[in-house]
Amino acid sequence: MRRLAPLLALLIACSSPTATENGLLSVSSRDGIVRITNRSAQPVLFILATRTYFELVEPLPCTKPGGCTPTLPGGSSIAVPFSEILGYEPGVRTAVLIHWLKVGASPDDVFRTVLLLRR
């Protein structure tokens, strides 16, 4: 069993992506930057934070007409330095991207993506 633990850890680490896609976004992490690309034609609202941040704060989708979180226009990309990830500290290995299409989204319309920042 002791010999299996390192192999399991390696398998889990190798299966964690530094890039991922879903129907709305393509997200990747490289050289201290998270690149988020909106693959849809509609604006996407998002929050990018560490797991620790989300343990302390329970974000809800924005309900203000003017918006209250960053918005990524359809077909565009943004580069977010690790230092701008909410709750980021050097050494943090993962971030969570919560995103949705419109103001006042229902919980069924909110998506969550976990991204490995570094291996």
How high is the mean pLDDT of the chain? Answer: 78
71-118 per-position pLDDT tens digit: 899 999 999 999 999 999 999 999 999 888 876 666 567 888 899 998
**pLDDT category of residue 18 using cuts at 50, 70 and 90:** low
Task: Record the pTM.
Answer: 0.74
Tokens at 16, concatenated: 């964690």
**Structural domains in the chain, sorted by start:** 4-116 (2.60.40)
pLDDT at residue 50 in the model: 95
What is the spatial distance between Cα 46 and Cα 29, in angstroms, rounded to a whole number?
Answer: 16
